[in-house]
Amino acid sequence: MSPLYNAQTPPPALFPFYPQNTFPLFNGDALADGQFSQQVQLPPNAVGGADVRVRIVLDFSAAPGAFEIWIMESDSDPNSAEYAQVPLAGVINALNAGSATQATVDLAPFQGQFLCLYVKTKPANAVTLTARATRR
């Protein structure tokens, strides 16, 4: 079953320490255009206001073909309409160099208090996606 926006209430929180620093946003899901992932909360760092850093990893089951997935952020979480695309590096539409199935984006600093993914264009090929957010 695909995790849908707000599938877990309250949203799971990503803390800056293992093992509570990573969470699946999609978990082996076939994607649809316009689909939101499970959202996660990123509480501020407790020490000295250090930047929050996040890594997004997309692992496709096979070569996905053309796709476009947006990284979304929000300062509040009442509904998916409150999310906006991350202004820099907020679009994932290419795989890592040398990989046929994986894409990675590092966001440092990440400014929002909540994060989710939005499927702007589902993969052209019939694949599934496991995506995770990791706080670094």
Q: Tell whether the model's pLDDT for residue 129 goes beyond 60.
A: yes
What does the pLDDT look like over 22-39, one tens digit per residue?
A: 999 999 999 999 999 999
What does the pLDDT look like over 57-110, one tens digit per residue?
A: 999 999 999 999 999 999 887 666 788 899 888 999 999 999 999 999 999 889
Q: How far is CA 20 from CA 9, 15, 47, 58, 133, in A?
A: 17, 6, 17, 19, 11
What one-letter code names the amino acid at 85?
Q
Give the distance from CA 78 to its chain's centroid: 18
- What the chain holds in terms of domains, given with CATH numbers, is 22-135 (2.60.120.1110)
Give the distance from CA 134 to its chain's centroid: 9
Collapse the DSSP code of 57 into the 3-class scheme (helix H, G, I; strand E, B; otherwise coil) and give the result.
strand
Tokens coding 41: 């909360």
User: Cβ distance 42 to 134 under 8 Å?
Assistant: no
Mean pLDDT score of the chain: 89
pTM value surpassing 0.85 = yes
Rounded CA-CA distance 122/31 in Å is 6
